[in-house]
Structure 1
Amino acid sequence: QTSPISSTAQLSSSPTKPRRSRATQKDPVFGRVRGAAKGSQSWEIVRDRPVPAPRNEIAESTRRYRRELEKIICRCERLGEETGCWLYLAAQHPNAHENFAHYTSRRLTLDWIPTLDTVHNETNKLFVSLQRSRRSNAAELSADLIAKEAALSAALAESSDLRSRNQELKEQ
């Protein structure tokens, strides 16, 4: 006869789960964050999860951007309040039809210097220039496509005309 204690222990034991991979400096399972730096020096930050694939749908991408950016700004505010750090964040979605989003920590606002206005204005110029360049490239590509489609239509019409004339000559 088995004791009640040992049978209870058998019931509560669960199958062991495989250990989740944990990223470390020595073993960055998901790689390192690209684009991170401290000053002009690269900053090797280990990713704690894989980078998701880019979203191809513009509407889905824009929704994700807005939703996640709000969370990021909330985290920035908490970090700024908890630590009293100077924090400035700026972001712009390439397909946005609105101004760039930004956050300035309370400490940075309180310790304001004119350079902050310069940084903000230059950031605005950066995003406006990127959007204009992107739209300009799109407009050029669109115009080029229209011209090539017109040339193709003309060539197809000429080819059809030549075939029918060739057929007429064969029949004579």
Structure 2
Amino acid sequence: MTASNPSPDEDIISDDESEGEEIVTKPSAKPTNKNARTYASNRNPVHGFIDGVGRGNRVLKMARRRALKTVFTDQSQASSNWRRLTRDFITRAEDISNRTASWLYVAAHNPSAGQPFTHFASRRLRMEAPKDLQKIHQHVASMMTVLKRADRANSIQHEKDKEQSLLKIKQIEDQLTAANEVARKAEAEAQALREEAAARDRLLRQYGWSPGNVPTQAAT
């Protein structure tokens, strides 16, 4: 079941369970200290603590049973694994609720999903509180709709910003190309003037005049 968000001033409580997940290293021919068993627990959080778990209106300090796996950085990979991973955790949720006769409700959605959000309610919750469950479901459905719309709006704005950035880059590249063309023409004109000056100097030397000592008029 969902709970209201805890306020920053509320204390963090600890999940004081005595059992932990046993982690056994690969055995070798001779036992060494490296093969010692360790347990994931609040006293020995070898995988850190779960982020986002709570009990009632308070944050719950609960050690992870296993290490977090690598985040999918590519959206196509995240989308392709979404259904598989969702099926896995809902299967676990059903098993937990059936074995422990618990009230359990979970919901999940993905920004790239083309279908409505996925949810599961335990058998006991469906039997004992069908009307309240319907209210919870409607509230979550409304929240997911808002999140999807906001995400889509952010994506559209992102694409617009990207398009504007590409347009600015194109304009800068065009300006740079034009400036390079102007510089190329100026260099070509300067080279032509240098060649013209060199030809003039050669002509002056043929008549015995130095380039810096040109007579103002020819001798009579």
TM range (shorter): 0.7 to 0.9
- 1:57 matched to which residue of 2? 74
Q: Deviations over 1:120-163 (max 9, x none)?
A: 11111212222221221121111111112112212221232233
Q: Which has the higher contact order (CA 8 A, sep 6+)?
A: 2
Instruction: Give the 3 Å change call, closer, same or farther, for CA 62–154 of structure 1 in structure 2.
Output: closer
Say whether 1:16 aligns with 2:35. Answer: no
Aligned with residue 27 of structure 1, among 44, 57, 73: 44
Q: 1:101 aligns to what?
A: 118
Worse overlay, 110-119 or 98-107: 110-119
Q: Distance in 2 between matches of 1:49 and 1:63?
A: 23
- Match of 2:138, SS state, is helix
> What is the aligned partner in structure 1 of residue 14 from structure 2?
none
72-81 vs 141-150, greater mean Cα deviation: 72-81
How high is the sequence identity, in percent, across the aligned residues? Answer: 23
How far the C-alpha of 1:69 sits from its partner, in A, is 2.0
**Structure 2 vs 1, CA of residues 164 and 114 (structure 1 numbering), >3 Å: closer, same or farther?**
same
Distance across 2 between alignment mates of 1:40 and 1:25: 20
- Structure 2 residue matching 1:55: 3-state secondary structure: coil
- Residue 68 of structure 1 aligns to a residue in which SS? helix
Q: Which residue of 1 aligns with 2:96?
A: 79
- 5+ residue gaps, structure 1, are 1-12
Alpha-carbon spacing, 1:65–1:164, altered in 2? closer, same or farther (3 Å): closer
Q: What is the aligned counterpart of 2:153 among 130, 136, 141?
A: 136
1:8 is matched with: none
Shift of 1:166: 3.8
The structure 1 residue matched to 2:105, chosen from 83, 88, 104, is 88
Change in 2 beyond 3 A, CA 1:72/1:169:
closer
Q: Which has the higher helix share?
A: 1
CA distance in 1, matches of 2:74, 2:175: 39
Match of 1:149 among 148, 166, 180: 166
- Work out the CA distance in 1 between the residues paired with 2:88 and 2:172: 54
1:69 to 71, 82, 86: 86
Q: Could you say if the C-alpha distance between residues 169 and 24 of structure 1 is closer, same or farther in structure 2, counting changes exceeding 3 Å?
A: closer
C-alpha distance in 2 between matches for 1:24 and 1:79: 20
Structure 1 residues 144-153 or 107-116, which shifts more? 107-116
Count of aligned positions? 160
| TM-score, normalization by structure 1 | 0.81
Q: Does 1:168 align with 2:185?
A: yes
Q: Which amino acid aligns with 1:104?
A: A
| SS in structure 2 at match of 1:123 | helix
